[in-house]
A and B are shown apart, each in its own frame.
Chain A
Amino acid sequence: MKHLLLFSITLVAAMQVYADDEADSKTVLGPSNVYLYDGANALKAGDAESGVALTLKGLELAQGLREEKIGHANLCAGFVLLGKAETALEHCNWVLEQDPYHWRTYNNRAIAYLRLGRFEESEADIRKGQELNPRSEHLKEVKGMYLDEVEPVDEKITIDDQRSGPRSPPEKPE
């Protein structure tokens, strides 16, 4: 279950920053905010506690809106992993106020709502996320989690054996 949740969570990787993209330079400067970078890696590895702690430090040192957004988005994911859905919501909401097209945060907020039993809001976020990124496997996973909560199903497999051969003609209507 934890494995599935980890897969469903999406992270904004605070990875290498490439210098002068427009000039097609390949010079790698390295992570601009080491704490955000390490925090993202810890969260990806499933170490939510370290991930959140490092990301909080990274957020203190964040330079500019982009890094702040990365920090809050990853905290949203991290607190969901820690089972602190209410706190996760605060960070998710911050990101979506800045960027209403951030499908990853809709994904993560949908999980937070799910954890809080707020199913309608969860479904709305899944829908918004899928509008922005219809092919996302993460969102499909979250939708599956949502459906398991609101419309649980049992798998049934029926095995029907028959001999192969000419099929009987369809019955004539009377």
Chain B
Amino acid sequence: MMLRSLIGFVLVMAASVTAAEEETIVAHVFDSNINRIPVQTVAPKYPRKARRDRIEGKVEVCFEVDRKGRPRRIAVRNSTARTFERPSIKAVRDSSFKALEDDEKLPSIKSCRTFIFSLEPVEEVDVK
């Protein structure tokens, strides 16, 4: 069990994270007890108007993953600002997980992914 979760973690680390825009910093926090292994994790695009108006927020999206690794029944569970909901749903829809082997049982438990949209001050660099 321990070995399996360790393998899962290593695979997750190797999975690609796709940022919507090059200038967006994307951090992926993994929870080793996630029930499916992400293959492609798509980061949502920061909504332009939210960035303009300096709005930050958090959206929790829950979904099931089918045998082929595609997210299904995607729904917002918690959200602090509606503006982030659509890009978060799209990011989950465009993501994929490792398909199950024929002998593996499809877990009934849902997966949830939380997207935290934040804006960080640009650090000034002193040039001497």
A residues near B (Cβ < 8 Å) are 140-141, 143-144, 147, 151-165
Contact = CB atoms under 8 A, between A and B. Distances in A.
B121 A153 contact: yes
Contact of B116 (A140, A143, A147, A160): A160
Interface string B53-86: 1100000001000000000000001000000000
B23 A154 contact: yes
11 contacts: A144-B51, A152-B121, A154-B24, A155-B118, A156-B25, A157-B24, A157-B44, A159-B27, A159-B29, A159-B115, A163-B112
A147 B53 CA distance: 9
Given A140-B52, A155-B21, A160 B121 contact: no
B98 to A, nearest CB: 13
A154 B119 contact: yes
Judged by DSSP, the binding face of A is strand
Interface size class on chain B is 35 or more
A158 B34 contact: no
Contacts of A154: 23-25, 119-122
A158 B24 CA distance: 10
A151 B41 CA distance: 30
